[in-house]
Structures are given as C-alpha cells and as structure tokens.
Structure 1
C-alpha cells in the first residue's frame, strides 16, 4: 500500500495508462469536479483505472461503488479516505 496520498496527477497518469489520452488535452488544469464522461472516459476505462489504483495504492474499489464515482474528486476522496483508515 502506498504511504502517500493519491494526487490528481496520479489519477491523470492512471487514466492515461488505462485508456489513453483524451482529445484536446482535457486532463490538463483543474478537472477535479469534471465528470469522467465529459473527460471522455467510459466505464471500461474506469474499471481499468480502478485496477491500477488497487495495484499502486492497495485500495480496492467495488464495481458498484466505482460507477457512483463520477468525478476525479470523488475517486481521490474515496482512495485517500480508505488509505487513511487502513493506516
């Protein structure tokens, strides 16, 4: 399990690794409250990103919970909250 909190940059990297870079650089800037759909990421991309989160941060996100996480902020809050509880 990672000992540092997951950052927005970590999530950007994982999204790109899982599903590629979306068009027009939409991952740049303040995207914490932008819905994944607007960023160009579908449910398959999020499933693959969740697998990377488990590998790197040791936090497993259940499929049914994953689909309720609509923004990067929601993912970061869940991962960092779960990691803090595990410490």
Structure 2
C-alpha cells in the first residue's frame, strides 16, 4: 500500500495555498505548527480537499481541527488510507 508522505503534503500545500517566501518547506517541518509555516485553517481545509481528491480519503473538519503540524496531517492521512484499504 502506498503511503502519504511529507513530500506529498508539501506538494499539496503549495498547490492549494501557495508558499510564503520566508518559509522553507523543504526543511525539517514535521513538528512545526502550520501557523509557524504561514498556513491558517482555510489553507489547511483547501489542502485537505486536494488530498481527499488525490488520495481518496475523507478528512472531516473535526479531524482537521486537531491537526496542528505536518506530522499530524501525514499520520491522519495514512490512518485513513489504511482504513480504506481494509
């Protein structure tokens, strides 16, 4: 089974919400909060919608309310992908 990676997330973030020139998304961002990276809740919902379409997972607003870091986002998507594969 394919896994959702931080590289997938970065690609989705850039496509859905752009990128702040002051933030290097290619660095070690896994445990930085999305706010620190310049992304608000609207940007995350747009990113979640893009991930849902591309990876065939469902990410509710309630799920996303608890997602504060890229690591949490990646983990959530992988849990949803594993559940869908069963």
TM-score scaled by length of structure 2: 0.91
| More helix, by proportion | 1
- Superposition misfits of 4+ residues, deviation over 6 angstroms: none
After superposition, residues 1-87 of structure 1 pair within 5 angstroms as: 3-87=1-85
Supply the RMSD in Å over aligned alpha carbons: 1.1
1:29, distance to aligned residue in structure 2 (A): 1.1
Deviations 1:23-75 (A, max 9, x none): 22431211111000000000110010010111011111111220210000001
> Number of residues paired by the alignment?
85
Shift of 1:12: 0.3
Q: Give the whole-Å Cα distance in 2 for the aligned partners of 1:75 and 1:43.
A: 13
Unaligned ranges ≥5, structure 2: none
Consecutive unaligned residues in structure 1, runs of 5 or more: none
TM-score, normalised to structure 1, is 0.90
